[in-house]
Structure 1
């Protein structure tokens, strides 16, 4: 029997996997359907010759039934994927889009370094511990998640040549060629609610000044991965968007 509740689609950030949402989904205890996929080039997902927010949005839309009602919560890169879903170019648009910690301002220097990072082969490690630490660093979770967690397990692999993360280095190119974020989030067919941690090193509330969205919600005392740092506060905020008073 179909649920009368919308499907919750959770989209992880660059370097992470869908398991980054585990504590959040446990907190939510949502009785409807929940999808937290590994986006292309991450975790169990296939590597690709092409990385873009649109390509990832197309992958996500393939997981949804025709006309399936759904809401999206996207972290960092996942927020950009959510914006692509909200354009209407990939089937049914979400009922609402929530974002966490989307990096809105990119310097020319940062953008110029992306092809260099993408061209580097995956780093190899002699042991699991080295690969685990590297995964946690790439996903911005070092010091916040145990190295023996299911999240870390989903992001590393032991290959014949050694231990390595499962992320395709070329996935950093998802930002390359995308329009400015103020433009990308403008004119969407879905209500958008943005948020960030007070101490997020990648984005600040002032970075949202050119956005067409309302003033972002700021999580006091938290950093970039607020859904990991405080899943209760994150769920309280997102669930309030789904059931506004």
Structure 2
């Protein structure tokens, strides 16, 4: 699996691995990358952004792909948003041969209703929607990713959320990524071999303080932020990351 990745920063031997959420790409981390004061690696997960599409998607596939980007026995800290947080939990189990010191997960949805699962799986089976112009595709991408009003249509985040196909434009992500729903968060947390810290925006519709308390009694709340904390409140999120890594 040849994941597209962005990396940089300076620091010690340990790296931060930044894992985006469902339907997004590594560019959502751009607001943080000059504030992290650490070496970092940010991939596009399979089926997202500039990485290849595949027939199968799941937390194990995502975690295995990310592990292949790392050196043997390399020690890392993982920061994951939403789905990326669950992928971080999977890496933290040790099942993928990666030495994870700590997993920081924010905006992770831990409670799913039957209707939500059904809607996600229906989305997975929708045909790829093609748009006549890039602008139309970008508008759709920003809407479905929850980034409308948070980043300009001319930004790198928006630009790499769409791709050209058959002389038309489409969302870069494979629709079938939506088949992944109701992830086994409790089982993964129970199997983790490293500490887990969780956080969410105070206005995040995906999770609440009580949801996170089941897995982290000291979960952080970032006031005034919604689901995309890393885009809305990058300074506050960086502060939480640095405090959580001490």
Aligned match for 2:144, one of 118, 138, 142: 138
Aligned length: 237
Per-residue deviation, 1:215: 3.1
How far is the alpha carbon of 1:3 from its aligned partner? 5.6
8 Å contact kept, 1:193–1:214: no
Which residue number corresponds to residue 9 of structure 1?
17
Aligned partner (choices 63, 71, 75) of residue 57 of structure 1 = 63
**Superposed displacement of residue 125, structure 1:** 1.0
Q: Residues 88-120 of structure 1, C-alpha deviation per residue, up to 9 Å, x if partnerless?
A: 110123110001100111101111222211111
More strand by share: 2
Q: What is the RMSD of the two structures over their aligned residues, measured on CA atoms?
A: 1.5
1:218 aligns with 2:229: no
3-state DSSP class of the match of 2:100? Answer: coil
Deviation at 1:182, TM superposition (A): 2.3
* Runs of 5+ consecutive residues of structure 1 not aligned to the other structure: none
Please give the alpha-carbon distance, in whole angstroms, between the structure 1 residues aligned to 2:228 and 2:97.
29
Question: Equivalent residue of 2:218, what SS?
Answer: coil
Residues 18 and 38 of structure 1 are in contact (CA less than 8 Å); yes or no, is this contact kept in structure 2?
yes
| Structure 2 residue 218 is matched with structure 1 residue 207 | no
Q: Is 1:98–1:238's contact at 8 Å kept on the other side of the alignment? A: yes
Q: For the residues of structure 2 that align with 1:70 and 1:208, how far apart are their CA atoms?
A: 23
Q: Matches of 1:169 and 1:107 in 2, distance apart?
A: 21
SS in 1 for 2:27: helix
Secondary structure at 2:34's aligned position in 1? helix
Task: Name the SS of the counterpart of 2:160 in structure 1.
Answer: helix
SS in 2 for 1:171: helix
Normalising by structure 1, report the TM-score: 0.92
Of the structure 1 ranges 66-75 and 184-193, higher mean CA displacement relative to structure 2 is found in 184-193
TM-score normalized with structure 2 length: 0.92
Deviation at 1:139, TM superposition (A): 1.5
Unpaired segments ≥5 residues, structure 2: 1-9
Which residue is equivalent to 1:41? 47
Structure 1 residue runs of 4 or more that deviate by more than 6 Å after TM superposition = none
